[in-house]
Structure 1
Amino acid sequence: MDIKDVVIDAYKTVGTELLLVGVAPSYAYEDGKRTDKIVGYKYEIVLLQHAYDKVSVKIEGDLRIELQENEAVFVALENLTLTPYWTPQGYRISASASDIKPVNPPKKAG
C-alpha cells in the first residue's frame, strides 16, 4: 500500500476551532519553476484544540477571505483533505479544501 492511499479523517484531525491568521497567494509551477500566475491562496490556520499547531490550507481560485494586518478570524473549511507526503526531514501533511468561510467564535463553557 502506498502512503498516498491512506485516508485521513481531516475534521477529527484538525478539530473544530480553526483560527485564520494569514493568507498568501499560491502560484502555478512550470517545469519545476514558479511562475507569476496565481492559481489560488494558502490560508494559514491555527488549530486551537491542538496546542496551537498550524496548518496551511490551499484553496484554488479567487481569494475567499481577506485579512487586515494583525487580524484573526474563526473559520470553517469545506471538503478539507489532508494528504501525507515524505521529505528528507520526515513526513509532512498537505492540506486543501474547496472553500473557507468565516464563522462565529466558539462559545466557552462557564
Structure 2
Amino acid sequence: MKLKVNNQRFSLVQVAGDNKVILVGAIADRAYKDGKVTDEVVGTKYQLVCPAAKYADFYVKVPEPQKITAEEIEAATAPIEVTLPGFVGRFYRLDGASDYDFTARADDIVIVVPKGKEKGADA
C-alpha cells in the first residue's frame, strides 16, 4: 500500500510548532461555481504566520463572518495571536503539478488576549 501525502491530516501544532499563530491578514472566502469565483461569501480566509516554524505563512478558511477587519489588523500595535479550534491542514497537488500546496480549515478563530489584558483585569 502506498502512503499518499494528500491523505494525511495535520494539527495546528504539527504545522505551526505551537497552538498559537499570528494573524496578519483577512479576506472574504467566496464560493466557486463551475471553476469560477462567485459573489457568495461562505466564510473568511485568514493569513497567518508561525513564529515557532521560522515564520512560515499560510491561509486558513473559517466558515464564519470576518471577526477582525484588515484595517484593524494593520492598525494593531502588537502581534495579534490567535488559536484555531477544529484546525485541520493537508497537502494537495493539482493534476499534472509536481509541487504540493497546503490548505487548512478551522471551525473558528479565537483571539488570544495577552495576560493582564483580560476583561475585568486592572491595567
Q: Is this a same-fold pair by TM over 0.5?
A: yes
> Does 1:47 pair with 2:50?
yes
2:26 is aligned with what amino acid? V
Residue equivalent to 2:108? 99
CA shift for structure 1 position 83: 1.3
TM-score, normalised by the number of residues in structure 2: 0.75
Check whether the contact 2:11–2:87 (CA below 8 A) recurs between aligned residues: no
1:63 is aligned with what amino acid? Q
1:90 is aligned with what amino acid? D
Residue equivalent to 1:13? 15
1:91 is aligned with what amino acid? Y
After TM superposition, the structure 1 stretch with the greater mean CA deviation from structure 2, 3-12 or 26-35, is 3-12
Give the aligned length.
106
TM-score, normalised by the number of residues in structure 1: 0.83
Q: What CA RMSD, in Å, does the superposition of the two structures yield over aligned residues?
A: 2.0
Structure whose residues are more often strand by fraction: 1
Distance 2:43 2:64 in 1: 5
> Does 1:74 pair with 2:76?
no
Check whether the contact 2:21–2:50 (CA below 8 A) recurs between aligned residues: yes
CA shift for structure 1 position 89: 5.2
After TM superposition, the structure 1 stretch with the greater mean CA deviation from structure 2, 21-30 or 8-17, is 8-17
The change in CA–CA distance for 1:17 and 1:8 in structure 2 (over 3 A counts) is closer
CA shift for structure 1 position 82: 0.5
After TM superposition, the structure 1 stretch with the greater mean CA deviation from structure 2, 8-17 or 32-41, is 8-17
SS of the residue 1:49 aligns to? helix
Residue equivalent to 2:121? none
**Per-residue deviation, residues 50-76 of structure 1 (Å, max 9, x unmatched):** 111111000013112334124341101
Structure whose residues are more often helix by fraction: 2
Unaligned runs of 5+ in 1: none
Could you list the structure 1 runs, at least 4 aligned residues long, displaced by more than 6 angstroms after superposition.
none
Unaligned runs of 5+ in 2: 116-123
